[in-house]
Amino acid sequence: MKRSDTNHSYRKKKSLLSFWSVTIAVIFIAIGGWLLKPESQEAKNLKNELNIIVNEQVGAISNMDKTRVSNIVVSKSSGGWDVELSLNADKGFTMISTKQMMWQNAIKILAGASEIDQLNDISLSWIYPVLNEQKSVEDKSVMSFRVDKTTRDQLIWGNIEPSVLPDLVFDYEEHPILSE
């Protein structure tokens, strides 16, 4: 093989590599721009409405002086809107009473949120201070679950006994601290 053929082959590979590098960079920029597009007005309105429901039903501040709503995430789905609520829990006299308050407050919030027709899935997560392995306190999700529109539409929220909530929802998870 001649030296000029080797140089030509090298330049061709380098050119091809540059082409693919630029193509991949353009794709990442396009995807990044799509993912970072500003939140729609409908999403903002829904977040505001959910924030109002939470504040009216269980208060804007927990009894541990934390803002009740830690985070609200809404996302458009084929059936409407999916919502993830992360809320700061109240502290009861015992861990059992703390868990029962979480159930009671969840029922109040879900009753209000169920009035919003465009909501599909509602995921709720209660945040509570927990001692970690390093013996320092950190806020952590201690109870979480999801409930879909079909289930919510079948329930009469005023008649629900809080202790049956884990049996009515999907993906119920509870931190071991709530059983202490």
Q: What is the pLDDT, as a whole number, of residue 81?
A: 95
Give the pLDDT confidence of 110-137 residue by residue, as tens digits.
Answer: 999 999 999 999 999 999 999 888 889 9
* Domain housing 11: 1-37
Asked whether residue 26 falls in the same domain as residue 96, the answer is no
Whole-prediction pTM value?
Answer: 0.77
Asked whether residue 25 falls in the same domain as residue 54, the answer is no
Asked whether residue 88 falls in the same domain as residue 107, the answer is yes
Asked whether residue 52 falls in the same domain as residue 21, the answer is no
Asked whether residue 55 falls in the same domain as residue 71, the answer is yes
Give the pLDDT confidence of 60-115 residue by residue, as tens digits.
Answer: 999 999 999 999 999 998 879 999 999 999 999 999 999 999 999 999 999 999 99
Q: Alpha carbon 111 to chain centroid distance?
A: 19
CATH number of the domain that residue 100 is part of: 3.10.310
Round to whole Å and give the CA distance between 158 and 13: 70
